[in-house]
Amino acid sequence: MEASTCKQDVLQKKKNAVLVDGVILNGPITDSKAGEKFVEEACKIIMEKIIQKADDVTEKVCEWRAPETLKKILDLEMRDTGESHQKLLQLCQDVIHYSVKTNHPRFFNQLYAGIDYYSLVARFITEALNPSVYTYEVSPVFLLVEEAVIKKMIEFIGWEEGDGIFNPGGSVSNMYAMNLARYKFCPEIKEKGLSGLPRLVLFTSEECHYSMKKAASFLGIGTENVYFVKTDERGKMIPEELEKQVQRARKEGSAPFLVCATAGTTVLGAFDPLDKIADICEKHDLWLHVDASWGGSALISRKHRRLLHGIQRADSVAWNPHKMLLAGIQCCALLVKDNSGLLKKCYSAKAAYLFQQDKFYDVSYDTGDKSIQCSRRPDAFKFWLMWKALGTTGLEERVNRALALARYLVEEIKKREGFQLLLEPEYANVCFWYIPPSLRKMEDGPEFWQKLRRGMREGNYNLNSTHIQWTLIA
Amino acid sequence: MEASTCKQDVLQKKKNAVLVDGVILNGPITDSKAGEKFVEEACKIIMEKIIQKADDVTEKVCEWRAPETLKKILDLEMRDTGESHQKLLQLCQDVIHYSVKTNHPRFFNQLYAGIDYYSLVARFITEALNPSVYTYEVSPVFLLVEEAVIKKMIEFIGWEEGDGIFNPGGSVSNMYAMNLARYKFCPEIKEKGLSGLPRLVLFTSEECHYSMKKAASFLGIGTENVYFVKTDERGKMIPEELEKQVQRARKEGSAPFLVCATAGTTVLGAFDPLDKIADICEKHDLWLHVDASWGGSALISRKHRRLLHGIQRADSVAWNPHKMLLAGIQCCALLVKDNSGLLKKCYSAKAAYLFQQDKFYDVSYDTGDKSIQCSRRPDAFKFWLMWKALGTTGLEERVNRALALARYLVEEIKKREGFQLLLEPEYANVCFWYIPPSLRKMEDGPEFWQKLRRGMREGNYNLNSTHIQWTLIA
């Protein structure tokens, strides 16, 4: 195009401009070509600096800086005018440089590690599509995918049918379950609330995840009404102690309604004896929820699923494929055995502007009213694409490998001076003490342990092999 | 490398293989080169099929298929063995093809539309880094970014100081606020629960978001203890009616503790009169929460921030930059005026394995214990990068343009036969009736309205201009 034509074009556009409240309305608000180029250049950086380096052990896991130092390095301030693309790309590089590389083979901090290329692609797709999963008309594919994934997960739990919903975290899944159990126990609470009712009481083990207390407090039940059941030397709930606690609660005149068992505790990786716990729940008519956020993935392995023996007797299960299976944070499902619509009855608010009942398709696909959220992310999709890519066998290998690595680590610890295994692991958590040289010749006894505990920062570690966690046991 | 050397190499590797429980442990579990290539090819598809088509009005918003048909088209089943990369890339194309294009200029369904390239890049970065935001040691950059963004949002609310947390949705933000107000009212509820206490009562308008009911039910307060205050003809809470409701609650012997005002209602886009409501809250010592999930973005515009006049008097505010500002789902902050640690006191469970107090940096950066979640996504980052790119002025333009578009639409509706405006909008929601030809000559009166409402599917629409929503008003 010649310059003169171009100028004419601009003048013509100005002439036709629709001006409302000082804003020119016609024409795009952003320069899409420049925007696309920016995305392309940023993707190159992401590819080179994150994805291609994911399995490079020669890279640092973290370029550590203290908060005040890092603040000075990063230009955090948001200003009146925007920055150039060049400056923004530099910022992106800095953000990557100073972030922890959770994909790194030596990232030993939390319950996950390593990169999964398929779930990553799924996440790029959903970020680009930017959907919200409440009604079929706005998220057709992602609702069908969620249905298929939930069905498959239910199959692995061993239920004949069921229901479920992906939500933002194992903690939230546990809250969902607690509220659902309460609704089943007394549906009126939804409208009337807890005021004036006897104390509702739930039971969980001493080794449970801290979200149990958070949930009890958030749901108005109160942390004191979480009765913690003693665990054995392996961190498993003792069924006889549970029985005692239920009887104690009944004697007090409170209202037991729920047992939360744990399949894969955070620190020891312990699995509660689900079958025996289910017997007690049946006897006392209590809802059985299994927090399998961490341990649920073992269900995929024919070799290790026996760890969750009895899980098919649970009323609800929390299971996070973003941990050992590497589906990317967050990917968490609450699964429910009931198939009579309990989840919907418990959670629905029947917002007429969103969930019209006279649509031209089967509105049972509008699952948004089962959720405590309104906008909701399509978290099932990344698990689905990964599953399609690897097959069940590939997922199974991931689990088997994690547990084999834990076994290997145990043998190495046993061989090495200055390390003492805390207990033989049954899952991927390996707990051990590091004995500082000054204590290695000391006799085992109260004084030894007092000194070891005092020097705990270099003492007791919980190494969660491969998908992985270093934590101090307090 | 020659074939013979290569074979020798493989044999050598096999010889050195560490075999535990039938799993070979050395060497990578995945083919990273193939994985990277898959990501590259998928990124090309995402670029071509989503990003480059984002502003193309000639594309369809949705290739609609009914659930049963779509199930047949998509190969949803997860099998024992994985699929080839070629098959997976085809699957990705299908997923994109049949998904709703929420970036499309003619996506008129929910409270957002259009693409923001900067927040998208930020989301690609965080998906690739896969962080979880609880402690500084594992998310240094994202915790500092969240702090900076919250500080800036607080500045726009008009508080001198404050606190806050990004969380998965406006509904969840409202729950956070409700629980926080309850904790302030009676801290003991955290431990003791609601049992045996007088009925806690909260107030909100008839036009509030449905999450208020969900929150009251989830938190054990009960939906009947949400007292709905009448609204005026513009959908705004009537302060005198609020006063009456508070007095009614007191007379009943219940315990009022919270008023939830709305800044930008879902259907009408109405803003409650915050200043007058704040007077009543002060008088009765009630927590004032403002659900500005939708309307909060107007705070960025010097021209339109008067809509939220008085918001600085609120105790907490919910604000979702993923709606009008286009930061990508989900990007939602709960902001709290208190700066004495109320948020942490209310939510902490003090998990010793995660939140050790004797770390070598300032542990006030370990904000995870303020959250109801354990793993948490770095949602502040996408808002931050977008803000850096556009500057406050760019964000302001986005708001001004949305509201100017609404004005333009109103003028067009007024000009056009068969359309009737419901009310002059004050925000981006434009509510109107479409009058079917058969009713256009009919006199305004009870019969007319009865017929119009009966044919509602082609009747009353709420068009939320640009960032945008078509909804039926039930």
Tens of pLDDT, residues B374-431: 999 999 999 999 999 999 999 999 999 999 999 999 999 999 999 999 999 999 999 9
* Mean pLDDT over the full length of chain B: 91
Q: Looking at the structure, do residues B332 and B464 belong to the same domain, yes or no?
A: no
Average pLDDT over residues B205-223: 97
Partner-chain contact A214 B77, CB within 8 Å: no
pLDDT tens-digit series, residues B259-279: 999 999 999 999 999 999 999
pLDDT at position A14 is: 62
* In contact, B71 and A144? CB cutoff 8 Å: yes
CA distance B373 to B18: 39
pLDDT tops 50 at residue B469: no
Q: What is the CATH number of the domain that holds A403?
A: 3.90.1150
Q: Nearest CA to CA, how far is A385 from chain B (Å)?
A: 8
pLDDT tops 80 at residue B76: yes
Per the DSSP assignment, residues forming a β-bridge with B19 are: B24
In a domain, residue A115? The reply is no
What are B81's two structure tokens? 């063995």
Q: Under the phi-then-psi rule, with left for phi > 0, alpha for psi from -120 to 50, and beta for the rest, what region is A73?
A: alpha
Q: Which of A190-194, B118-122, B462-466 has the lowest mean pLDDT?
A: B462-466
Q: Using a CB cutoff of 8 Å and minimum separation of 24, what contacts does B28-32 make?
A: B28/A55, B29/A114, B29/A397, B29/A398, B29/A401, B30/A116, B30/A117, B32/A54, B32/A55
Say yes or no: B470 contacts chain A, CB-CB below 8 A.
Answer: no
- Which of B326, B357, B388 marks a domain boundary? B388
pLDDT at position B21 is: 84
Q: Using a CB cutoff of 8 Å and minimum separation of 24, what contacts does B184-191 make?
A: B184/B287, B184/B315, B184/B338, B184/B342, B184/B346, B185/B255, B185/B257, B185/B258, B185/B287, B186/B257, B187/B345, B187/B346, B189/A217, B189/A220, B189/A222, B190/A217, B190/A222, B190/A223, B190/B346, B191/A217, B191/A222, B191/A223, B191/A224
In a domain, residue A223? The reply is yes
3-class SS of residue B228: strand
Domains: count for chain A = 3
Preceding amide of A247 cis, omega within 30: no
Per the DSSP assignment, residues forming a β-bridge with A262 are: A291
pLDDT band with cut points at 50, 70 and 90 for residue A471 = very low
Partner-chain contact B322 A375, CB within 8 Å: yes
Selected residue with higher pLDDT from A429 and A25: A429
Q: Which residues contact A386 (CB under 8 A, 6 or more apart)?
A: A116, A118, A119, A122, A325, A326, A327, A395
First to last CA, chain B: 73
* In contact, B146 and B133? CB cutoff 8 Å: yes
* In contact, A317 and A344? CB cutoff 8 Å: no
CB atoms under 10 Å from CB of A207, counted, come to: 22
- What phi and psi, each to the nearest 5 degrees, are found at residue A291? -80, 90
Q: Which residues contact B69 (CB under 8 A, 6 or more apart)?
A: none
Q: Looking at the structure, do residues B253 and B349 belong to the same domain, yes or no?
A: yes
Average pLDDT over residues A418-430: 92
Q: Looking at the structure, do residues A141 and A273 belong to the same domain, yes or no?
A: yes
Report chain A residues whose CB lies below 8 A from the CB of B115. Answer: 35, 130
Selected residue with higher pLDDT from B472 and B234: B234
Q: Which of A153-157, A427-431, B173-177 has the lowest mean pLDDT?
A: A427-431
pLDDT at position A272 is: 98
pLDDT band with cut points at 50, 70 and 90 for residue B465 = very low
pLDDT tops 70 at residue B314: yes
pLDDT band with cut points at 50, 70 and 90 for residue B1 = very low
Interface contacts A/B by beta carbons within 8 Å: 503
Q: Looking at the structure, do residues A140 and A31 belong to the same domain, yes or no?
A: no
First to last CA, chain A: 72
3-class SS of residue A431: strand
Surface-to-core class of residue A244, CB atoms within 10 Å of its CB (0-12 exposed, 13-18 middle, 19+ buried): middle
pLDDT tens-digit series, residues A45-80: 999 999 999 988 899 999 999 999 999 999 999 999
CA distance B95 to A123: 12
- Helix, strand, coil proportions of chain A in percent (round to 5)? 45, 15, 40
Beta strand pairing call for A163-167 and A332-336: antiparallel
What are B89's two structure tokens? 């890339």
Surface-to-core class of residue A274, CB atoms within 10 Å of its CB (0-12 exposed, 13-18 middle, 19+ buried): buried
Average pLDDT over residues A283-298: 98
pLDDT tens-digit series, residues A84-120: 999 999 999 999 999 999 999 888 877 787 899 999 9
pLDDT at position A6 is: 54
In a domain, residue A221? The reply is yes
pLDDT tens-digit series, residues B285-294: 999 999 999 9
Q: Looking at the structure, do residues B355 and B469 belong to the same domain, yes or no?
A: no
To the nearest 10°, the Cα dihedral for B142, B144, B150, B153? -100
pLDDT tops 50 at residue B466: no
Average pLDDT over residues A216-221: 98
* Identity of the residue in B127, B168, B169 whose CB atom sits nearest the CB atom of A124: B127
Instruction: Name the residue range of residue B192's domain.
Output: 121-388
pLDDT tops 80 at residue A222: yes
pLDDT band with cut points at 50, 70 and 90 for residue B142 = very high
pLDDT at position A258 is: 98
The secondary element (H helix, E strand) that includes residue B263 is none
Whole-angstrom CA distances from A26 to A361, B17, B103, B135 are 36, 66, 17, 46
Q: Looking at the structure, do residues B319 and B333 belong to the same domain, yes or no?
A: yes
Partner-chain contact A103 B377, CB within 8 Å: no
Average pLDDT over residues B227-241: 98
pLDDT band with cut points at 50, 70 and 90 for residue A13 = low
Helices (H), B29-107: 32-46, 67-73, 85-98
CA distance A38 to B429: 32
Say yes or no: B79 contacts chain A, CB-CB below 8 A.
Answer: yes
Say yes or no: A63 contacts chain B, CB-CB below 8 A.
Answer: no
Say yes or no: A470 contacts chain B, CB-CB below 8 A.
Answer: no
Selected residue with higher pLDDT from B298 and B464: B298
Query: Comparing C-alpha atoms, which of B339, B268, B337, B280 is closest to residue B307?
Result: B268
pLDDT tops 90 at residue A257: yes
Q: What is the CATH number of the domain that holds B49?
A: 3.90.1150.170
Interface of A with B in 32-61 (CB under 8 A): 32, 35-36, 38-40, 42-43, 46-47, 50-52, 54-55
* Mean pLDDT over the full length of chain A: 91
Amino acid of residue B6: C
pLDDT tops 70 at residue A455: no
What are B209's two structure tokens? 């978001």
CB atoms under 10 Å from CB of A418, counted, come to: 12
The interface predicted TM-score of the complex, written ipTM, equals 0.94
Report chain A residues whose CB lies below 8 A from the CB of B194. Answer: 193-195, 220-222
Interface of B with A in 365-424 (CB under 8 A): 365, 372-377, 381, 384-385, 387-394, 397-398, 400-401, 403-405, 407-408
CB atoms under 10 Å from CB of B44, counted, come to: 12
* In contact, A212 and A226? CB cutoff 8 Å: yes
Selected residue with higher pLDDT from A110 and B236: B236
Per the DSSP assignment, residues forming a β-bridge with B336 are: B163, B316
Interface of A with B in 126-165 (CB under 8 A): 127-132, 136-142, 144-145, 148-149, 152
Q: What is the pTM of this model?
A: 0.94
- Which of B336, B368, B388 marks a domain boundary? B388
CA distance A474 to A452: 12
CB atoms under 10 Å from CB of A135, counted, come to: 22
* Sheet strands side by side (includes A419-421): A419-421, A429-434, A460-464, A470-472
Q: What is the CATH number of the domain that holds B308?
A: 3.40.640.10
Q: Looking at the structure, do residues A382 and A448 belong to the same domain, yes or no?
A: no
- Angle of helix A211-218 relative to helix A170-185, nearest 10 degrees? 50
Partner-chain contact B128 A46, CB within 8 Å: yes
* In contact, A29 and B398? CB cutoff 8 Å: yes
In a domain, residue A319? The reply is yes
For A21-131, strand residue ranges (E) read 23-24
In a domain, residue B181? The reply is yes
pLDDT band with cut points at 50, 70 and 90 for residue B357 = confident
* Sheet strands side by side (includes B255-262): B163-167, B332-336, B316-319, B287-291, B255-262, B200-205, B226-229
Mutate to test the interface with A, among B49, B217, B379 (most CBs of A within 10 A): B217
Average pLDDT over residues A20-44: 88
The secondary element (H helix, E strand) that includes residue B289 is strand B287-291
Amino acid of residue A447: E
Q: Looking at the structure, do residues A273 and A415 belong to the same domain, yes or no?
A: no
Partner-chain contact A22 B400, CB within 8 Å: yes
Q: Looking at the structure, do residues A344 and A272 belong to the same domain, yes or no?
A: yes
Q: Looking at the structure, do residues A245 and A174 belong to the same domain, yes or no?
A: yes
In a domain, residue B252? The reply is yes
What percentage of chain A carries pLDDT values higher than 70? 92
What are A100's two structure tokens? 């922890």
**In chain A, whose CA is at the least distance from the CA of B145?**
A76
Residue matched to tokens 């079917």: B436
Range A217-239 burial, b when 16+ CB lie within 10 A, else e: bbbbbbbbbbbbbebeeebbbbb
- Which of B362, B388, B414 marks a domain boundary? B388
Handedness of CA A186, A189, A190, A194 (dihedral sign): negative
pLDDT tops 70 at residue B2: no
Longest dimension (CA), chain B: 94
pLDDT tops 50 at residue B470: no
Report chain B residues whose CB lies below 8 A from the CB of A80. Answer: 391-393
- What phi and psi, each to the nearest 5 degrees, are found at residue B60? -80, 145
Q: Which residues contact A96 (CB under 8 A, 6 or more apart)?
A: A45, A46, A49, A50, B125, B129
* In contact, A167 and B377? CB cutoff 8 Å: no
pLDDT tens-digit series, residues A117-175: 999 999 999 999 999 999 999 999 999 999 999 999 999 999 999 999 999 999 999 99
In a domain, residue B326? The reply is yes
pLDDT tops 90 at residue B105: no
In a domain, residue B112? The reply is no
CA distance A16 to A360: 41
Selected residue with higher pLDDT from A280 and A12: A280
pLDDT at position B471 is: 29
3-class SS of residue A318: strand
For B168-279, strand residue ranges (E) read 200-205, 226-229, 255-262
* Identity of the residue in B200, B387, B400 whose CB atom sits nearest the CB atom of A78: B387
Q: Looking at the structure, do residues B135 and B275 belong to the same domain, yes or no?
A: yes
Helices (H), B80-162: 85-98, 117-129, 140-157
Q: Looking at the structure, do residues A338 and A414 belong to the same domain, yes or no?
A: no
Q: Nearest CA to CA, how far is A377 from chain B (Å)?
A: 7
Average pLDDT over residues A311-324: 97
